[in-house]
Each structure stands twice: as structure tokens, then as C-alpha cells.
Structure 1
């Protein structure tokens, strides 16, 4: 399996420099989503003191013509700090800064979905919406071959790998452990991890997060995963169906609840939301992957623990349904539900916004409603 050349550089030599004092200065790594809606970019600047909150961070800019976000003739884009985390790679007092991207005219870029999501979340903040997202991913070599798979064949059939233990079942646990600890250090609300059904496929969970924080924390966790994999010389893929055939795809199952749903008798609110979702299935499918459903069509086949992309379904403890009500929720008559349709490469801002629009704002139809300021 191919690994990157940079991974073979001496980390001991690098550590000599990382141990040098940085004085009173702080390194802030600005992170943003590029024009693909999936890729992440970053660059670093020096600050004179440690920022205590977002307001302490200056705006910045970058060349959008090199990130699929503008033409060279008018390429300056604005980076607007939106969320700040501790930097697990450079350590305190250094920071990771998740940013929104604005065009030259101060309007959001096409892949800046955070701005509208935040507005929608503010409309329903009194209902205290909570989200939890289960991010599946696949570890690949730099040649695209799954980590640990035979170079000229396939591993044994699926069965022993899910939550597996042992060198012949769990592929790449060092990466998973490093990512988990880095997220905890950064302040990302990571709440768990496990090996998935396909070998070299893993999942981590983020949440519960309220409102816009869900998207912020999942994107930060994704960035940290990419950086950890970079150090190990491998690649984290969020492709919804990285290996065709009789192998599980990768999703980003999204758990959702409101204050009402979490209280006694909340099952009624859950069932009401599911009914609304059933009437707006195509809208959600378009929102649940960056290509308007084309990526998810490879995954949502009705097989390998997925629903069929063309049909809406719901059920208690049914992992082959569009919406799953956990068995404990059915028994307690309160809690949350799980939307199993979002793809692994979804934009969490788009997913959470769509759920709010349909379930809480009672929107209908194929297009999102526009609200006056």
C-alpha cells in the first residue's frame, strides 16, 4: 500500500524545532471549505497574543482562483472567523480557526452554507434543537487502495470487522486513537468511535451539539482527521461508496431532537416530524450530499443497511429504513430519531438546516423557503 513521502520524514528532527519557544506569539491556523463543498484548505498567521474568543481574531483573505472559488481576475476572498478550537498539532496557545468564506462583494460563496444555516438555527433556538452526527470514513493509501487490504485481492467477507478487535479485524486503529485524542484536546465534542462493517472503515460520533455548533464541530473533526492521516501518510476518504460491490458504503447518520421530543410524551413530536420528512423526501436527498443526490445514489440501494434512495421509510430499530427510531425511544416514548440518509461527504450545515426547515418550520415543496430579514 502506498504512503506519502512526507510521512517518512524524521519526526524526531521535527520535534527539535517544535520544542523551541515561540515567545508571546500565537500561531492561528485558518481553515475553510473550498469550492468543491468537500475539500478543506488551511493557512497560518501569527498573532501577537492568545485570542480568547472569535472577536479577537482578525479577518483574513486568500486566493480563491486556486480553491475553485473565483476567477484570477478578481480572486481575493474573505475569511471570516466563525469557530475556534485548541490546536492539537502545535498545542497551546495555538489555535485552529474555522472560517466562513465571503466573495469580494461580501456575499457568501456557493459552498458557504454556514451563513444561512446559522440564520435558520436562530429562528428556532427556543426549541433547543440537538444534533449528533455519526461520521463514517475509509482509510486509504495514497494510491486509493484500502488500508490493510491485500494488494492483489480482497479481505475476507464482512462480518468480523464491525467493532472488531485483533490485527486481522481492525485496520488502522493507531489513526483512530490519535484522532480521538486530538479531538478531545481541541475541544471538539467527539463522543465515541468504532470500527465499521467494511475493513479499513471506521466511524466517529460528534454531539450532542446545539444548533450551528453541530456543523462547526463536525467540520473541525474532519479537518483534524485529515491532518492526523497526513502524519501517518494515508488518506481519509468520505466517499459514500469507496469500494463497489458487496461492501458497505459510508454514511453520516444524523440524530435529531428538540426540547419537546426529549420530554415526556415527546414521541408525538418525533412521529410528527417523521410524517413531515416523508412528504419532502426528494428535497432532503438533494441536500444530503454535495452533488444533489448523485453520490448517495451509489450508496442508498436498499442493501448493506441502507434504504432505497427513491423511497421513504421509517421504523423502530430498522437500519434499512430512511428514519430509524431507536428501540429505547419507542419504549420511553421520548428522545430522538435518526436520519440514515445523509452521505459520508455531506455538508453538516446543509443537513441540519434541512431538518430544521422541514421538522420545525413545517416547510413543504421541492425548494427551501426564503425568509425576510
Structure 2
């Protein structure tokens, strides 16, 4: 009887979809906080390798289709944050601090409990505010350069109608074609050679407060907690403590090479752990192993893709990144505004995050969370809730409870 290859196929597809749907966001985020093209390419390569190794370890060790990914919301956060005091090396130091916090979440239950106390509506609102300016880029791009950006948006629209899962990859392919046409002969072959670039980390208070803390919160709330919920929904238990240590270690190893954060996959996790991963649930772990191998192959393309993105005309790559994040924005807005009692604080948090302001060298995401907590403590939530009786709790509460149940060795 022939062996069922559907788990491996599902893993390959999940890796390709995950990579192609968000690598532009990662490159844009790393460049925004000061990375050169070579350092951004190194970061993308390092993230691919780190999450591949971590995924292979967890999948084979536990025979569980546990998928890892880079933090796409975290990369979007970097786009909105921009350069910080201390430059790129300070950003790398913040990535290392994030790695330590992720690992400690697995080792110190009290830290996980502290994160769980952050209102999910505010975490989602902060992310929505971070995403909003990026998601406006397709509109601005079409207005400024319709002949260049228009085909990218059209490919996304056609994809949403005919093949929704591949709509974002299709728009990115069209964007790269536009870049190739517009920059014919300008991208040197040498620029496509994979290479790692080491950065010795430094630390600054603005970088730690403005990057490390928001990056940790966004990664936990938008990747790790939903990732646990997706796995639980498909009947699998996540080894919480070990997974946090493994992803924290992966982030620490990738950080000096330019990687920002490794975490549990959320959306693509369902492609491996769900029915698409094969009829035999006991063999779906092979899908995660297949995804790991695929990411190692895709890592070789990091430098070439970075060279193309760097050479792109203004607006093309930004539009592709905005389209890639529209789905995340929609989910974040829905979760942030689901509970009437939390809406005022959530909207206050959202607008501060979307403002992009920098105060005392610290970016808007941190201040957005503080403002949200302040407004939440002042506004009488009971009165607001009474205006809409029968409303259910926020959509993120279930995943949060799921993560709590799985916080075991």
C-alpha cells in the first residue's frame, strides 16, 4: 500500500503560502528600524532557518503537527516604529530582549499570567492601529502610480474571487514582475547570493521600551495564543513550556543575524494540523517536518528577493505589504471592538497606535497600550456594557483561556 503523502504536501503548501504572503512585510519592517539590504536579507534567511529547525525539533520529538513562523504582526510593528535611538544595533538588542521574554514565558508561569492580564481588546487594538497606515498603502499607491500599483491590486482582487488562499501570493508575484520590468538589468546576480550578516547588539531604553515590549505583546497575543487555539481546535496539545523556550531560543539565535521574532504559526498551522494535513491524524506531524524542509529551501531565496524589493519603485512593495495585512487588520478590528464595554478604550488605543507619534524616543505602540489602559480605568465599562445587553465577550478570550490550559511542561 502506497504511503500517504498528503501531510508533506500540506506542509510544503503551508510554508510556501506563509513565506510568500508576508516576506515583504518582514523586509520592510527590518529596513524601517535601520537594517541595510544585506542585513534585512540576512534577517529573512536567519528567520527561515531558525523556525525550520525549531519546527523540525518539536514535530519529530512530539509527533505533533506544530508549525512555527516569523511574527508578521511584529514585522508590521517595526514598520510603524521606524528608527530608534541607537539605530540598527539597538533594534537587534531589542530583538534579543524579546527572545528572553518569550523564553521566560515558558519558564516562569507568572510572566505568562501577567501577559494574560493585558486586555485582549487593547492588544488587538494596538495591532490594528499599527496595521492601519500600512493597509492604506494600496490606496495611496494606486492614486500616485496607477500603472504600477494597479496590477498588484487587481491580482489581489481576482485572487480573492477565484483562489482566496493564493490571493496575497499572487499579488506579490505581480509586484515582483512589475519590479523586474521597471528595473530590467539593474539587479546584480551577486545581490542574490545568500549571506549572513552579524550585528553586535547594543541596548537603549527607547529601543527596549518601544520595540521589545510591544513586539513581545503583539507576538504573544497575535501569534502564540491563537496558535495554541488553532492546535486545540484540531485536537492537539501544544507543549507550551518547551515551545516557548524553543521559539525564544530561535529568536535569540536569529536576532544578531537580523531576525526579529519566531513564534507559533496561527493561520498556516490549520493547513498542517487540519483535515488538509491528511486523514491519519497520527501522521500529520510529517506536514510540519515538510514545512521545515521547505523553509530551508526558501531561505536560499532571501537575498534575491531582498534585492528585488530594494530596487522596487516607490509604492509597489508597500502596496503589496498592505494587501498582505488586510486580513489581519480585519480580524484585529473585529476582536478589538467586539465587546461594547471595551470599545472606547480600544478605539483610543487604536488611534494612538495609528498616529505613529514618537515621544521621548519611544514609538506609538507603547504609548497606545498605556493610553488604552488609562482610558479603560477611567471609562465606566459597566455602563457601556449595559447599552448592549447579551453581547458576548471578546473573540480573543477563548484563545487566551486555551493557552492557559496548555501552559504545562
Tell me whether the two structures share a fold, i.e. TM-score over 0.5.
no
* TM-score, with structure 2 as normaliser: 0.22
* TM-score, with structure 1 as normaliser: 0.23
Structure with larger RCO (C-alpha < 8 A, sep 6+) = 2
